[in-house]
């Protein structure tokens, strides 16, 4: 698989990563995953994927434990990215950016991941009660201590920080400028897909101009862009799509022309709609690495094959002309 560089560091990863979250969080109950999830991670590595993206809150903790079982056998083949800064309670998820907590969280992640070093350690969300420079400074100390190789910023929660009239990632860019003064940001993780393109306005070019990598989260639009979901099919209660405005039967039906367009492009290349969606993300810059999440080995292998798909100017123009997605994304 093609390799891409994460930031200005010498860290390189396969052009397509694996989001491990669906195996234990947001899409499925933890008891529903197990050896099947383990096979999925191994299948992804076999297909050339190296970046495994997880977080301590997924489960919580069980997702890191799963990745740790793989790393124990195949550490040299994997690039592990995990996150800190969010605590899961019975009713709420709260941010914790206190320096002491960040350091303890890192040590706990290292134990669960069964590794001596985390390749990319991301701040999952800034704590509004702690100056972000203090949190980032503590993370920088982890690099100095040899526990972490590079630092990243997760901007997936940017919508909750958005002010009326502001661009989606305006606040994120301001925060990134602040922490860059403390220690280099190697990578930013944010939503980017054919039906969620806001990152192209400011965040993707900001990263490109500063040699910062961009991990594209949800590049398949929570599975919608794969074309495997049927309007009105329903979702399990623990699945976040059961409460998502874009996954009502009405909105899924209204957005079918987007999937149809991806399929048209795919037919010219012998590729699936999902592979075209991932290839489009790859085409947004050499610093961009899509990280599709899945819990099934067959999809992990199919997603990895998208790294070989090269979209031409005609393909990209056709995708650019597709209708914008309908329905709130909040």
Q: d(Cα 27, Cα 64) in Å, to the nearest integer? A: 16
CATH T-level fold of 3-223+281-310: TIM Barrel (3.20.20)
User: pLDDT tens track of the chain, all 330 residues?
Assistant: 999 998 877 789 999 999 999 999 888 654 445 889 999 999 999 999 999 999 999 999 999 999 999 999 999 999 999 999 999 987 789 999 999 999 999 999 999 999 999 999 999 999 999 999 999 999 999 999 999 999 999 999 777 665 545 689 999 999 999 999 999 999 999 999 999 999 999 999 999 999 999 999 999 999 999 999 999 888 888 888 998 999 999 999 999 999 999 999 999 999 999 999 999 999 999 999 999 999 999 999 999 999 999 999 999 999 999 999 998 766
φ and ψ at residue 196, rounded to 5 degrees: -145, 85
The pLDDT of residue 10 is 73
Structure token pair of residue 61: 């903790």
Question: Whose CA is closest to 290, among 19, 100, 93, 99?
Answer: 19
Tokens 């009502």 locate to 248
Crossing angle for the helix pair 99-113 and 62-74, to the nearest 10 degrees = 50
Q: In terms of DSSP bridges, do strands 79-84 and 3-5 run parallel, antiparallel, or are they unpaired?
A: unpaired
Structure token pair of residue 49: 């994927």
The pLDDT of residue 30 is 45
The pLDDT of residue 300 is 98
Tokens 């990243």 locate to 152
Catalytic entry in 58, 101, 121, 169: 58
Alpha-carbon distances of 72 from 66, 76, 101, 143, 300, rounded to whole Å: 10, 10, 26, 22, 20
pTM above 0.75, yes or no: yes
Is residue 58 part of the annotated active site? The answer reads yes
What is the Cβ-side half-sphere exposure of residue 78, based on CA atoms within 13 angstroms? 28
Helical segments of the chain, H only: 35-46, 62-74, 99-113, 132-144, 158-161, 170-180, 203-209, 249-254, 256-269, 273-282, 297-305, 313-320
Question: Whose CA is closest to 75, among 102, 99, 110?
Answer: 110
* Strand partners of residue 88: 93
Structure token pair of residue 244: 């998502």
Alpha-carbon distances of 186 from 10, 11, 13, 183, rounded to whole Å: 10, 9, 13, 9
Q: d(Cα 225, Cα 259) in Å, to the nearest integer? A: 6
Alpha-carbon distances of 134 from 107, 108, 238, rounded to whole Å: 18, 20, 35
Reported residue count of the chain is: 330
φ and ψ at residue 46, rounded to 5 degrees: -60, -30
Q: How far apart are the first and last CA of the chain?
A: 34
The pLDDT of residue 31 is 46
């Amino acid at each position: 698989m093609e390799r891409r560089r994460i930031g200005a560091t010498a860290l390189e990863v396969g052009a397509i990563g694996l989001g491990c979250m669906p195996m234990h969080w947001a899409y499925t109950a933890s008891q529903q995953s197990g050896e099947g999830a383990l096979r999925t991670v191994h299948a992804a590595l076999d297909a050339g994927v190296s970046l495994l993206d997880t977080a301590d809150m997924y489960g919580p903790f069980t997702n890191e434990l799963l990745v740790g079982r793989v790393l124990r056998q195949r550490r040299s083949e994997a690039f592990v990215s995990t996150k800190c800064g969010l605590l899961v309670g019975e009713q709420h998820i709260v941010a914790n950016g206190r320096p002491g907590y960040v350091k303890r969280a890192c040590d706990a992640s290292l134990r669960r991941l069964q590794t001596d070093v985390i390749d990319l350690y991301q701040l999952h969300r800034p704590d509004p009660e702690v100056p972000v420079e203090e949190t980032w400074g503590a993370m920088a100390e982890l690099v100095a201590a040899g526990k972490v190789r590079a630092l990243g910023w997760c901007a997936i929660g940017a919508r909750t920080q958005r002010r009326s009239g502001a661009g989606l990632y305006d606040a994120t860019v301001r925060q990134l400028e602040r922490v860059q003064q403390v220690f280099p940001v190697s990578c930013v993780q944010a939503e980017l897909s054919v039906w969620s393109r806001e990152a192209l306005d400011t965040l993707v070019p900001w990263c490109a101009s500063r040699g910062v990598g961009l991990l594209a989260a949800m590049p398949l639009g929570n599975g919608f862009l794969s074309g495997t979901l049927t309007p009105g099919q329903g979702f399990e209660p623990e699945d976040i799509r059961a409460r998502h405005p874009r996954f009502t039967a009405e909105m899924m039906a209204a957005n079918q022309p987007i999937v149809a367009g991806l399929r048209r492009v795919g037919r010219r290349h012998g590729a699936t709609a999902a592979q075209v969606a991932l290839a489009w993300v790859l085409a947004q810059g050499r610093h961009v690495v899509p990280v599709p999440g899945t819990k099934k080995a067959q999809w992990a292998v199919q997603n990895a094959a998208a790294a070989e798909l090269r979209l031409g100017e005609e393909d990209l123009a056709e995708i650019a002309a597709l209708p914008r997605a309908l329905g709130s994304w909040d």
